[in-house]
Amino acid sequence: MQSSAIRDLLRITERPDVISLAGGLPAPDTFPLAAVRAALDGILDDPSALQYSATEGFGPLRIWFAERAGVDVERVVVVHGSQQGLDLAARALLDRGDDVVLSDPGYVGAIQAFKLAGGHLVGVRSDGDGLCVDDLQRRLAHGLRPALVYVIANFENPTGATLSSERRVALADLAERYGFTIVEDDPYGELRWSGPSFPSLASLTDRVVRLGTVSKVLCPGMRVGHVVAPKPLADALGLVKQAADLHTSTLAQRVVHALVSTPGFLDAQVDVLKAHYRRQSTTLVDALRHQLADQFRFTVPDGGMFVWGSFTRSLDTEALLPRAIDAGVAFVPGVAFAVEADQSRSLRLSFATATCSDLHEGVRRLAGVVANS
C-alpha cells in the first residue's frame, strides 16, 4: 500500500458514516484550548512574536528542551515536528545507497523519509519487546553495515511495542562496536499509563540522534518538535534546516514555551492524556477480546495510541479494507507498514480519537466483515 493510498484512506475515513480506527490523530478534546488562547493574548503584545527568528530555535524554548534532556543547549535544534527532524537527520546522515535499519513493520513516515534521502531500507523483525536486536546482531556479524538504525523505543508506531531494557543496552553496544548512528524517535514516551519506564538510548551511548515533539502532549497543529544531537551534527542539521525553511514558526514556539514553562501545566496535561488514552485502550482491547476472540492476536499496550495485531487464519487485510469501509469501519492494513516481511494478515487500530461507544461499534462492524470473509 503506497502513501497515496494511505492518503485516500484517510480521506475516506472522514465520511460521517465510517468509524475510523485508522488515523493516529490525537484526541481533539484533550487540546489545551483555553491555555493556548491565554498564551496568545499575552504573546501578541510583542511584535517580535511575528518576526523571523533563529534557525536553531527560540532561545528560551531551546533551553527548556535542553534542560529536560540534560544536555547543552547547543545540541538542540527546534524543528517543525519530529517528522522534520527525521527528514533533516536522514539528509545529513545518509549517502545514496546507504543501508538503514528499522523495525519491520515500520513507521510510514520513516520509510518515506529514508527512501527520499536515498537510503536502502533493511527491515528487522519486531515483537512485543520492540526491535529484535539479536536478529540485527546476526546480520551485522554477516556483513551488514548500516549508516543508521531507526527506532521508536516507546510505544512503536505501528506495533505499540516498547523496546526492552536489555535490548536498549544491546543496541547501544552494537552502535559503539559497528559505528552506526541510532535515530531514537520518541513521540509517545509521555503517554505511558502502566509498566516500567526504561532509560533512553541517548543515555546509553553518544551515537544517538533523539527526536521529540509536542504534537502528542499539546496538539499537532503547532508543528513544534526538537532534535538533540552531538554538537557537530546539530550544527549540520541547523544548516540543512536553514536551507529548507529558515526557522520554525516563531509564534508557535513562543506559545509552546509559554505553556510548558507554566508551573504544573505540563504534568497536569499529561495526566489528562494518560487517563483518556488508558480508558480508550481498555475499551478497544475489551471489544477485540469479545468480538474477535481467538481470531485476532494482539499485544495489549501500556501506552501510546495503537493496537497492532494479526489474524490467525489467512486473511489479507488490504483486500479486507474496502469491505470494512462499506460496513462503516476503517483501519490501516499491515502492508502499509511493511519493509521486507509479509504483513498481509496484520492491521493497525488507533484508539486515540474514537469515542468509547464508537470503538465498541467499530470492532463489532469489523468482526462482522471478518466473519463473512
| Cβ neighbours, 10 Å, residue 45 | 7
Q: What does the alpha-carbon distance between residue 215 and residue 254 come to, in Å, rounded to a whole number?
A: 15
**33-50 per-position pLDDT tens digit:** 999 999 999 999 999 999
**252-306 per-position pLDDT tens digit:** 999 999 999 999 999 999 999 999 999 999 999 999 999 999 999 998 999 999 9
pLDDT at 373: 87
pTM: 0.94
pLDDT at 17: 86
- What's the whole-number mean pLDDT along residues 142-156? 98
- What's the whole-number mean pLDDT along residues 169-193? 98
Q: Are 287 and 136 in contact (CB under 8 A)?
A: no
What angle (nearest 5°) sits at the alpha carbon of residue 160, between those of residues 303 and 15?
95
Q: What does the alpha-carbon distance between residue 294 and residue 288 come to, in Å, rounded to a whole number?
A: 10
Q: Please, which residues have CB within 8 angstroms of residue 72's CB and are 6 or more apart in sequence?
A: 66, 231
CA distances from 28 to 9, 33, 37, 92, 190 (A): 20, 10, 15, 34, 17
Which residues lie across from 330 on neighbouring strands?
20
pLDDT at 38: 96
pLDDT at 24: 85
Q: Work out the pLDDT band at 150, boundaries 50, 70, 90.
A: very high
**313-360 per-position pLDDT tens digit:** 999 999 999 999 999 999 999 999 999 999 999 999 999 999 999 999
pLDDT at 5: 55
Residue 13 has pLDDT above 90, yes or no: no
> Which H or E run contains 257?
helix 250-260
Q: What does the alpha-carbon distance between residue 276 and residue 274 come to, in Å, rounded to a whole number?
A: 5
**40-91 per-position pLDDT tens digit:** 999 999 999 999 999 999 999 999 999 999 999 999 999 999 999 999 999 9
Structural domains present in the chain: 3-24+267-371 (3.90.1150.10), 46-260 (3.40.640.10)
DSSP string, 114-155: HHHTT-EEEEEEEETTEE-HHHHHHHHHTT---SEEEEE-SS
Nearest partner of 200 among 247, 237, 153, judged by Cα: 153
Q: Please, which residues have CB within 8 angstroms of residue 369's CB and are 6 or more apart in sequence?
A: 320, 323, 324, 327, 329
